[in-house]
Chain A
């Protein structure tokens, strides 16, 4: 059956409920948030309607600059760690037996779906003095006594890499599965080692995919709202943590909304970059 353009008004029937829900509960809330970002804070309640730029003006402080800089730095670092770990892994996975692939995919999905609260709890346990990894090192005689490894930057970075790694693998998976196996076979026939053929054939062939994945993981990491709070010190707080903190604990909705609008703009800019990287990939 060919796809036809809708002819009668009733042909649009199926669209009514989905379109209505998405407009009322996504577009309208989004617009509300943008509106609130221009409102004035009301210390007694939520906010009073107004049209001021005060909330955006607060971005021009040194504190905010530091938070933004750290958020971007942390997300870039997480994205690089994840892609460096995930590209060889996903490559090997895409060449593995189907049964092995399915098992790994189930495991990766299970970890990906885990709540940030749970990941934060699990890593804070692993890094703790009483139940942490250092107890194992003491048992093995490598260390004298157990120590706490968090709060620290390393703890935040490790947990965020843990959170984003399954996502990275699943983003890379389709591209790597479809990669023509004859490419590496040719390299192997010509005498390249598996490692060499991976770096000289697979990685260059996937350059645009890798760039697009880096950006997607970067956005994913930018969204992490609890791990820096659970495992880091206040100087490790990111924009997402700050938004939550302002909205919930400081009850400063207008400022939280202004930061959220800013985060949307950063994200949309990056999505546009991803699309451009993807287009180039198709053209090449």
Chain B
């Protein structure tokens, strides 16, 4: 009874969530350059186009570089901050935790516009590095949240044991803390990477007039007319996201990361 209800409702939600992707997947295998569904003929040529066409290939390369670098910078900001907040008792330092969460909580247009005015005022507007820093700030929330969760799950008696045996902070961090929070470090990077790959507005407002990331390229292409390449890129992105989150789930504890068991009360 309950089981049937669950299956029907899961089925309906699943259909709603997958319907646009099914249609896009169908469009992406059209043989000729039309956006027909059901597809006319079958060809994987539009997937090849992502790599064969120099514009799409450059956009893909720009997106992946941006995501890899900005997620790394986000991690460099989040790790020392989360460690400090866990190790030290300094209530005023929580303001930085708040600052790290704010860019992601506010409507994205606001962060994007703030960064646009800032880069324009300082004269760096349009340079590729500005997008890396902007994305790192925008997505620092994700590693910060996963790392805070990771630190809070460390059994402090382990650290205490190491300290009693004479290990200093540096040694403790390397031999005890780092191995314990590694899964949270990796998932924080993964979340920031995937979201940066897909991000449009911040990238557009920082480097939109000088470079094209894939989301910018798709949006620009939308204004000049549709091609099935947009559909194949979309499916590629869904596949990348699903693979990365699948790996996080495989090697980490996804329900716990998303807050299922984080409370000890």
Contact = CB atoms under 8 A, between A and B. Distances in A.
Interface in A91-105: 92-93, 95-96, 98, 101-102, 104-105
A161 to B, nearest CB: 9
B38 interface: yes
**For chain A, which range describes its interface: under 10, 10 to 19, 20 to 34, or 35 or more residues?**
35 or more
A178 B263 contact: yes
B109 A118 contact: no
A270 to B, nearest CB: 10
A130 B36 contact: yes
A10 to B, nearest CB: 11
Contacts of A162: 16-17, 20
Interface string A7-46: 0000100110111011101111110110010000000001
Contacts of B160: 1
Interface in B34-80: 34-38, 73, 76-78, 80
Nearest to B261: A177
A15 B1 contact: no
Contacts of A244: 109, 201
Interface stretch (A50-58, A60-68, A200-208, A217-225): A217-225
Given A102-B254, A225-B201, A165 B17 contact: yes
Given A29-B114, A110-B245, A240-B107, A17 B222 contact: no
Contacts of B246: 106
A4 B89 contact: yes
Given A25-B115, A123-B20, A130 B106 contact: no
B126 interface: no
A178 B241 CA distance: 27
A199 interface: no
The 5 A-B residue pairs whose C-beta atoms are closest, nearest first, are A223-B107, A174-B259, A29-B118, A131-B37, A122-B20
Interface of A: 1-6, 11, 14-15, 17-19, 21-23, 25-30, 32-33, 36, 46, 85, 88-89, 92-93, 95-96, 98, 101-102, 104-111, 113-126, 128, 130-133, 135, 139, 162, 165-166, 170, 173-174, 177-178, 194-195, 219, 222-223, 225-226, 230, 240, 243-244, 247-248, 253, 256-257, 260, 263-264, 267, 271
Given A113-B245, A125-B20, 5 more contacts: A115-B199, A116-B200, A131-B26, A248-B204, A263-B107
